[in-house]
Amino acid sequence: MGIFERFLTVWVALGIGAGVVLGLWLPGFFQTVAALEYAQVNLVVAVFIWVMIYPMMIQIDWHAVKDVGKRPQGLLLTLVVNWLIKPFTMAALGVLFFQYLFAPWVDPQSASEYIAGMILLGVAPCTAMVFVWSQLVKGDANYTLVQVSVNDLIMVVAYAPIAAFLLGVTNVTVPWETLVLSTVLYVVLPLAAGMLTRHLVLQRSSQALTAYVAALKPWSIVGLIATVVLLFGFQAETIVAQPGVIGLIAVPLVLQTYGIFFISWWMAKRLKLPHNVAGPACLIGTSNFFELAVAVAISLFGLNSGAALATVVGVLVEVPVMLSLVAMVNAWRPSSLDRAPL
């Protein structure tokens, strides 16, 4: 591991701190950047996410993708966790904490909005960041691509009905333009660029491809940190103004993240998945598509709503928690694999 990967937790922590400080110091700048959006997708954030995952897309060997069908258990695990378990456990934890355990400290209206934000997070499986987690645990890049692609297709038809059911209403409107544009920006475009790049560089030699990927690798971390800085810069005033509420929201989100991971890991072991499939499968099932959740929360409830705040806290919680889970997956990596060629 290079210095970027070895100290990733430090860089993310510095990015969070820098985002909050800069957001308070230069609010006008972040308001200008926040306004650069289309269909509620921030285009600057999209560029940084593109920088983050493009180097990983180059590593995908399309000749190996067809082999995923020979071992579908990892894909099945991800689908079961993402669509049959995670949305419902998130809703249950939200109700437990904000309608019962935290009821003395939160008014009913705010509580319902926090629960709504948590639900929107739970129903949105991760699309972009999962490529980072997969790379950090030395996962099978081809298998990860298939898992993300299938989840994206299901999300198009399942996100609105499940969100509507869990929110207890029938008039939830998911901004489909946001969903489609997010998928194009975060998956389709970098994937197409990665395919083209791989084809062109391989015409020289496989060694040239290896060297090119190695040269680009640090940019994935740069894209991740830049994304974190922007997201926290956008919400700096809210984070500083409501630290107590943020702490309350973080509690069930942290429990949800670790709980889903350990459920997924137990299932992966029962299915006897190889480590390079089990690790990414569990992390895909654990993480959330927070970019979409934030956009939908703002669309449905407003920029200053409790629902929007809950989705932003999801970002605050997810990055450091997911890094801790990456460390666990790597620590549990069989020693025999450490000696195997990657």
Q: Please spell the DSSP secondary structure of 44-99, one letter per residue.
A: HHHHHHHHHHHHHHHT--HHHHGGGGG-THHHHHHHHIIIIIHHHHHHHHHHHIII
In angstroms, rounded to a whole number, what is the distance separating the alpha carbons of residues 85 and 335? Answer: 31
Which helix (H) or strand (E) segment holds residue 41: the answer is strand 41-42
Of 59-68, 152-161, 169-178, 237-246, the range with the lowest mean pLDDT is 169-178
Identify the top-confidence range among 222-226, 229-233, 260-264, 334-338: 260-264
Contact between residue 75 and residue 146 where contact means Cβ atoms under 8 Å apart:
yes
What is the signed CA dihedral for 149, 152, 156, 161, rounded to 10 degrees? 130
Q: What pLDDT, on the 0 to 100 scale, is given for residue 86?
A: 94
In angstroms, rounded to a whole number, what is the distance separating the alpha carbons of residues 237 and 308? Answer: 14
Q: What pLDDT, on the 0 to 100 scale, is given for residue 169?
A: 55
Provide the token pair at 38.
Answer: 């289309």
In angstroms, rounded to a whole number, what is the distance separating the alpha carbons of residues 111 and 15? Answer: 29
> How many Å from the N-terminal Cα to the C-terminal Cα in the chain?
13
Contact between residue 225 and residue 51 where contact means Cβ atoms under 8 Å apart:
no
In angstroms, rounded to a whole number, what is the distance separating the alpha carbons of residues 133 and 179? Answer: 22
What is the signed CA dihedral for 143, 149, 152, 156, rounded to 10 degrees? -140
Assigned CATH for 55-218+243-333: 1.20.1530.20
Q: Are strands 41-42 and 37-38 parallel, antiparallel or unpaired?
A: antiparallel
In angstroms, rounded to a whole number, what is the distance separating the alpha carbons of residues 123 and 185? Answer: 20
Contact between residue 288 and residue 122 where contact means Cβ atoms under 8 Å apart:
yes
- The answer to whether residue 63 scores a pLDDT higher than 70 is no
* Chain mean pLDDT for the chain: 82
Mean pLDDT of 287-314: 76
In angstroms, rounded to a whole number, what is the distance separating the alpha carbons of residues 155 and 117? Answer: 17
Mean pLDDT of 61-79: 76
Ramachandran quadrant class, 272 (left: phi over 0; alpha: psi -120 to 50; beta: rest): left
Distances (CA, A) of 180 to 25, 60, 65, 262: 34, 23, 23, 31
Mean pLDDT of 308-332: 86
- With a pLDDT cut of 90, the percent of the chain lying above it is 26
Q: Please spell the DSSP secondary structure of 292-320, one letter per residue.
A: HHHHHHHHHH-TTSHHHHHHHHHHHHHHH
Of 95-109, 119-133, 145-159, 190-204, the range with the lowest mean pLDDT is 145-159
Three-class DSSP category at 37: strand
Give residue 291's pLDDT band: very low, low, confident or very high (50, 70, 90): low
Contact between residue 235 and residue 312 where contact means Cβ atoms under 8 Å apart:
yes
- pLDDT tens, position by position, 122-146: 988 877 678 788 888 988 888 887 8
In angstroms, rounded to a whole number, what is the distance separating the alpha carbons of residues 145 and 127? Answer: 10
- pLDDT tens, position by position, 230-283: 878 887 887 788 788 889 999 999 999 999 999 999 999 999 999 999 998 999
Look at residues 283, 318, 48 and name the one whose alpha carbon lies nearest to residue 148: 283
Which helix (H) or strand (E) segment holds residue 38: the answer is strand 37-38
- Whole-prediction pTM value? 0.76
